[in-house]
Amino acid sequence: MLILAMIGYTLFGTAPLYLDSLGAIIGSRVLVGLCEAAIMTCCTTLIADYWSGPRRSRYLGLQTLLASVSATVFLGIGGALGSSGWRTPFWLYTVAALLAVPMYLLIWQPARGASKETLPPIPWRRLRVPCLVTLAGGVVFYALIVELSFVLDEAGVTATATIGALSALMSLATAIAAGSFARLSGRTPRALLPVAFGSSAAGFLIIWASGGAIPVITAGAVLTGAGTGLLLPVLLTWATNGLSFAERGRGTGLWTGTLFIGEFLSPVLIMGLSGTFGGLRPALGVLGVATAVLAVATPAIVPPLRHPLERHPRLTPHPADLISAAGPGAVSGRVRQPWEPAGQALLRVGRTRAEL
């Protein structure tokens, strides 16, 4: 599914290169969104299946870090390519097809084992609060990704290269914050989410109060980018830590779907606020106030956890889970080289399978 989604991402992503109808172009964007949802769900599930404990937290943070770094690079390149025509940036979607080749060679599907038991139901009660907070987080996360270029345009910045560069700077802040998650994962969501939402709120409010000054808008965007960079890995790890191997794929899909719904609602909500409060920057100011309230309320919304994110009891997997995640090599005492950091534990489990 992951490889097919990567190929589809390229096919549908490059469609505006030859499509002339606005309806067809919009339809291709819907298909791109479906492929993106599949890619994100599959990648996140595989990370949770391959690793556990602090290593899982580190790789989940690295996932957001690399996504933000790639956004930084592609926004900059896309802005530069946009100066030669509006279709040109869509060539960047071909990168997904190129990445599908090493992915096919290096990634394996964790086996579920010989058990034919029916899958357990999705733990709705356990995922309810993380998904509700993620819904709000999707609105916050996507706000400036969509609206920053319009804020800059209102402030007098019309060059696509400049807009791309400033958007890339915000993405760089997101990447740096995401990279810090591995060091912060020893804390609980109740401690980290107020920081993430608070930083995002401060950035929105700075943009609102900027008066159209480009350096101030940039500072606000960077601060919001840093907040959202910490926000996503915290929400993701919080939601997936309590899931077993059999629950993880569907639970991750539910979390991803909730995030995307929030992202879809973000521009719709901001558009409505813009009409009510007289402009885009006032709308972001209202969103900043709401995000600040959420930051203050988070300790009351998020239930207390006995363990920090990296030490959740379910992060110490059952040996059967390790066998499933190890792939065919673990049964014979051989672990695939690309995932060597997890190899020793998997090798021991492979050798003692009969004892299980």
CA distance 13 to 8: 8
pLDDT attached to residue 172: 86
pLDDT in tens, 223-257: 999 999 899 889 988 888 777 777 877 888 888 88
Q: What tokens does 253 get? A: 């899909």
Q: DSSP for 279-324?
A: SHHHHHHHHHHHHHHHHHHHHHHSPP-SS-GGG-GGGS--HHHHHH
Residue 197: which pLDDT band, with cuts at 50, 70 and 90?
Answer: very high
Residue with the bigger pLDDT between 51 and 300: it is 300
Is the pLDDT at 311 greater than 60, yes or no?
Answer: no
Instruction: Please return the burial class of 187, using the count of CB atoms within 10 Å of its CB with bins 0-12, 13-18 and 19+.
Output: middle
Average pLDDT over residues 180-205: 89
pLDDT at position 78: 82
Per-residue pLDDT at 325 exceeds 80: no
Question: Are 247 and 217 a contacting pair, CB within 8 Å?
Answer: no
pLDDT band with cut points at 50, 70 and 90 for residue 189: confident
Q: Please provide the average confidence, as pLDDT, over all residues in the chain.
A: 81
Q: Give the integer Cα–Cα distance in Å for 16 and 87.
A: 7
Q: What is the DSSP string of 116-177?
A: -PPPPPP-HHHHHHHHHHHHHHHHHHHHHHHHHHHHHHHTT---HHHHHHHHHHHHHHHHHH
pLDDT score for 138: 93
Q: When comparing pLDDT for 102 and 324, which is higher? A: 102
Dist. CA 46–CA 51, nearest whole Å: 9
- pLDDT surpasses 50 at 327: no
Render pLDDT for 50-101 as a digit per residue (tens, 0 to 9).
Answer: 877 777 777 877 887 787 778 767 877 887 888 788 899 999 999 999 999 9
- Give the mean model confidence (pLDDT) for residues 328-337: 38
For the chain, percent of residues with pLDDT exceeding 70: 83
In this prediction, residue 329 carries a pLDDT of 41
Query: Is the separation of the CB atoms in 205 and 219 below 8 Å?
Result: no
The CA distance from 283 to 299, in Å, is: 26
CA dist 49 and 320 (Å) reads 12
State yes or no: pLDDT of 259 exceeds 60: yes
- Ordered by where they begin, the domains of the chain are 2-106+124-313 (1.20.1250.20), 318-355 (no CATH)
Question: What is d(CA 227, CA 137) in angstroms, rounded to the nearest whole number?
Answer: 10
Digit-coded pLDDT (tens) for 123-161: 788 889 999 999 999 999 999 988 999 999 999 988 888
Selection from 30-34, 37-41, 108-112 with the highest mean pLDDT: 30-34
Whether 31 has a pLDDT exceeding 90, the answer reads yes
Q: How far apart are CA 319 and CA 326, in angstroms?
A: 10
